[in-house]
């Protein structure tokens, strides 16, 4: 089963590029940019990655992002992530970045997007991995600040497929951003939002109704509202679930308690994703293995996570057909 999972073609739809910054690269960037880090080695930094909830993680995550300064830094960060994708047989990935985390400390939006985009082009040319970029608004900041960020996104609409919503869910419901999402959709951008990770099921309903999202990020608290689960099944609304993240941030006590397999079997369009792999202890293969080790699953069911992700992705119908065939061929070869 481990070999099957390792070789299975995978599609990632929920990955914060700043959350793929491994301690080793963080130390290298800090040295390059003359930044002090209050840890004496990558190992001691990694040992500090113990979180009790989303906010305790976000505090450390924003601190880590401070090491990113130049276009080359963003290139190196993204390239390192794409090499991990290659190792895990990730064939397509849709990458989040948090523009305000960088523009608020004086780094140009252009510096960030150009570094990420150049690595993605090399990822396509040298590794054969297709990818898209989604810019996320930080929900602990104002809608006015999100509107300013949307303006920058529109200046790079040739490179950015959509906008998302992340950061602290508690106290910052979808409603706070309904105008900026409405404008983003008018401009032709696709939309996603984190909802129902730490926040209530109502946030999932509001993300769908008030923000008009194409996918819900996390969404695991949907089970608290049976009619919502029915609605997700009927509308085929995808959920980008992040199993290891949910354990690290104490959304579930352990992987056996996680509801992703129950949701899959009910017919919800759930997918497996790594969220912030440098902080949560694993990339795509690790997440698949963690779910499969805690729940008895068939190969067909595991492959369904990839099929769901292909269907939920922001690629052309032609490429979706090609990728689905790749998964079917892989399954057939294994049987
Ligand atoms: N939730 C909310 N905001 C985030 C996350 C997350 O899991 N990761 C990075 N920013
Ligand atoms: Zn996330």
Choosing from 54, 81, 252, 274 the residue with most ligand 1 atoms within 8 A of its CB, the one to mutate for a pocket test is: 54
pLDDT of residue 15: 99
Is the model's pLDDT at 156 over the cut of 90?
Answer: yes
The closest-lying atom of ligand 1 relative to the alpha carbon of residue 61 is 9
- In this structure, which residue's CA is closest to atom 3 in ligand 1? 167
- At 117, phi and psi to the nearest 5? -65, -40
Is the model's pLDDT at 227 over the cut of 90?
Answer: yes
Average pLDDT score over the chain: 98
Is the model's pLDDT at 185 over the cut of 90?
Answer: yes
Q: How many Cα atoms sit within 13 Å of 248 on the Cβ side?
A: 24
Mean per-residue pLDDT, 76-103: 99
pLDDT of residue 37: 93
Mean per-residue pLDDT, 176-191: 98
Query: Which residues approach ligand 1 with their CB closer than 6 A?
Result: 16, 19, 54, 166-167, 194, 197, 245, 275-276
Q: Which two tokens stand for residue 229?
A: 């689960």
> Which residues does the annotation mark as catalytic?
197
Residue 22 pLDDT class (50, 70, 90 cuts)? very high
Mean per-residue pLDDT, 243-266: 98
Cα 121 to Cα 129, 154, 270, 333: the distances in Å are: 9, 20, 28, 31
pLDDT of residue 335: 83
Degrees (nearest 5) of the Cα angle 137, 71, 97?
A: 20
Split into its structural domains, the chain has a count of 1
Q: Which two tokens stand for residue 261?
A: 């397999």
Strand partners, 131: 93
Residues 135-152 pLDDT 10s: 999 999 999 999 999 999
Query: Looking up tokens 């609304």, which residue turns up?
Result: 237
Is the model's pLDDT at 86 over the cut of 90?
Answer: yes
Domain assignment of residue 158, given as a range: 2-334
Q: What's the CA gap between 250 and 280, in Å, rounded? A: 11
Residue 59: is it exposed, middle or buried by C-beta count within 10 angstroms (0-12/13-18/19+)?
exposed
Encode burial over 174-209: b for 16+ CB neighbours within 10 A, e otherwise.
bebbbebbebbbeeebbbbbbbbbbbbbbbbbbbbe
Q: Which two tokens stand for residue 266?
A: 């009910």
Is the model's pLDDT at 275 over the cut of 90?
Answer: yes
- Strands (DSSP E) contained in 86-128 are 90-97
CA proximity to 268, closest of 297, 228, 316: 228
CATH number at residue 236: 3.20.20.140
């Amino acid at each position: 089963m481990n070999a099957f999972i390792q070789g299975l073609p995978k599609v990632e739809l929920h990955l914060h590029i700043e959350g793929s910054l491994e301690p080793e690269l963080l130390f290298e960037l800090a040295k390059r940019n003359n930044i002090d880090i209050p840890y004496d080695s990558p190992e001691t930094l990694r040992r500090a990655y113990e979180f009790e909830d989303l906010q305790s993680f976000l505090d450390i995550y924003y601190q880590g992002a401070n090491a990113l300064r130049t276009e080359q830094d963003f290139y190196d960060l993204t390239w390192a992530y794409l090499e991990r994708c290659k190792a895990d047989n990730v064939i397509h990935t849709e990458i989040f970045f948090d523009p305000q985390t960088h523009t608020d400390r004086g780094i140009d939006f252009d510096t960030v997007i150009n570094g990420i985009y150049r690595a993605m082009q090399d990822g396509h040319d040298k590794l054969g991995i297709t990818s898209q970029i989604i810019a996320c608004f930080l929900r602990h900041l104002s809608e006015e600040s999100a509107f300013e960020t949307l303006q920058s996104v529109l200046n790079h609409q040739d490179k950015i497929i959509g906008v998302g919503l992340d950061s602290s869910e508690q106290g910052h419901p979808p409603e706070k951003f309904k105008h900026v999402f409405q404008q983003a959709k008018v401009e032709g951008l696709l939309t996603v939002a984190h909802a129902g990770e730490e926040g209530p099921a109502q946030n999932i309903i509001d993300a769908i109704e008030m923000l008009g999202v194409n996918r819900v990020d996390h969404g695991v608290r949907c089970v608290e509202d049976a009619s919502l689960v029915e609605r997700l099944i009927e509308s085929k609304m995808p959920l980008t679930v992040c199993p290891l993240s949910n354990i690290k941030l104490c959304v579930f006590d352990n992987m056996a308690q996680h509801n992703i397999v129950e949701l899959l079997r009910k017919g919800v369009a759930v997918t497996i994703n790594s969220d912030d792999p440098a902080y949560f202890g694993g990339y795509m293969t690790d997440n698949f293995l963690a779910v499969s080790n805690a729940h008895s699953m068939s190969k067909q069911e595991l492959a369904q996570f990839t099929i769901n992700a292909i269907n939920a992705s922001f690629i052309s119908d032609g490429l979706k057909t090609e990728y689905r065939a790749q998964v079917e061929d892989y399954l057939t070869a294994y049987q």
